[in-house]
């Protein structure tokens, strides 16, 4: 069974920045291990933002970068662009491809001459070597996730072209034997081997679960868009909620229970469709 998610169903957490009061305790849920990292929303404060020199009127929280012992195939950031801000040449490395997913405001993106304004739930894929730009032409801050990966050329297969869309307009594929309570929206075609990574929206209705410990070669970046859950990561049970981020290295066992009362939804990156380089 597949469903179309309506605009009323979608929720995207994007409340970052500021500083806690001096009376707050230091203890939070941030965890860094060799198998996984959890960055809770409470640590995404003003003091840990980065500035990308190719952008104006912009700040970012870097959630993942290749590090020894961690996920190594991708970088992921939350990027805030103020009205009038943006970049004419966002990507400094020609061999790197990008995926943008908007969680607040509106971002106008041009890729190889194609222009679209992305609102909440909107996404764009910019191939490696593409000429592209991104600007906030509105009056509110635009916030998006930026996933970057070096493209792995596949002999005899043409590289993919630009992709635009909005996850709210896409069919959700129900996972087998779940009565539609665990669904996946695939924003890049997983059957097209021209793509060497995938980005999905995964949705669990309250009480639904991944009922086994997935243990596989794909690395993951998971940003919680909505709801809460208890996630099994390696040998640990970890509570997560909207605004939290998880980075999972290859072969990290993973499972979850959705806690309710709303759906549990997350943005998922994974590397795929390539032979293991030895």
pLDDT in tens, 124-154: 999 999 999 999 999 999 999 999 999 999 9
**Is pLDDT above 70 for 1?**
no
Output the CA torsion sign for 195, 270, 153, 96. Answer: positive
Q: Convert the pLDDT of each residue in 167-185 to its tens digit.
A: 999 999 999 999 999 999 9
Q: Convert the pLDDT of each residue in 46-64 to its tens digit.
A: 999 999 999 999 999 999 9
**Is pLDDT above 70 for 225?**
yes
**Which residues have a Cβ under 8 Å from the Cβ of 256 and sit 6 or more positions away?**
204, 209, 210, 229, 230, 231, 232, 264
CA distance 83 to 142: 8
Q: Convert the pLDDT of each residue in 251-275 to its tens digit.
A: 999 999 999 899 999 999 999 999 9
pLDDT at residue 27, rounded to an integer:
64
pLDDT at residue 25, rounded to an integer:
61
Q: How many CB atoms lie within 10 A of CB 101?
A: 26
8: confidence class by pLDDT, cuts 50, 70, 90? low
CA distance 240 to 40: 8
CA distance 229 to 265: 9
pTM given for the model = 0.93
pLDDT at residue 17, rounded to an integer:
87
* DSSP annotation string for 138-177: SSS-EEEEEEEEE----TTSPPP--EEEEGGGSEEEEPTT
23: confidence class by pLDDT, cuts 50, 70, 90? confident
pLDDT at residue 115, rounded to an integer:
98
**Which residues have a Cβ under 8 Å from the Cβ of 25 and sit 6 or more positions away?**
none
CA distance 81 to 112: 21
**Is pLDDT above 60 for 68?**
yes
């Amino acid at each position: 069974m597949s469903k179309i998610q309506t605009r009323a169903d979608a929720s995207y957490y994007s409340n970052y920045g500021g500083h806690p009061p001096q009376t707050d305790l230091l203890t939070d849920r941030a965890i860094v291990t060799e198998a996984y990292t959890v960055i809770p929303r409470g640590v995404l404060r003003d003091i840990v933002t980065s500035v990308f020199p190719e952008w104006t009127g912009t700040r970012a929280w870097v959630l993942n970068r290749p590090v020894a012992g961690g996920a190594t195939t991708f970088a992921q950031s939350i990027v805030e662009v103020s009205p009038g801000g943006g970049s004419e040449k966002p990507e400094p490395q020609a061999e790197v491809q990008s995926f943008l997913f908007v969680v607040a405001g509106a971002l106008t993106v041009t890729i190889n001459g194609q222009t679209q304004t992305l609102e909440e739930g909107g996404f764009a894929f910019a191939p490696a070597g593409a000429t592209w730009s991104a600007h906030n032409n509105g009056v509110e801050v635009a916030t998006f996730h930026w996933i970057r990966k070096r493209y792995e050329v596949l002999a005899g297969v043409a590289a993919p072209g630009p992709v635009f869309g909005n996850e709210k307009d896409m069919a959700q594929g129900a996972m087998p034997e779940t009565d539609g309570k665990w669904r996946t929206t695939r924003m890049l075609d997983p059957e097209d081997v021209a793509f060497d990574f995938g980005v999905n929206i995964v949705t669990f209705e309250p009480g639904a679960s991944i009922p086994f410990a997935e243990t596989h070669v794909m690395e993951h970046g998971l940003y919680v868009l909505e709801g809460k859950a208890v996630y099994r990561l390696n040998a640990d049970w970890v509570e997560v909620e909207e605004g939290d981020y998880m980075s999972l290295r290859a072969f990290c066992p993973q499972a979850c229970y959705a806690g309710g009362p709303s759906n549990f939804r997350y943005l998922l990156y994974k590397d795929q469709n390539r032979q293991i380089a030895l």
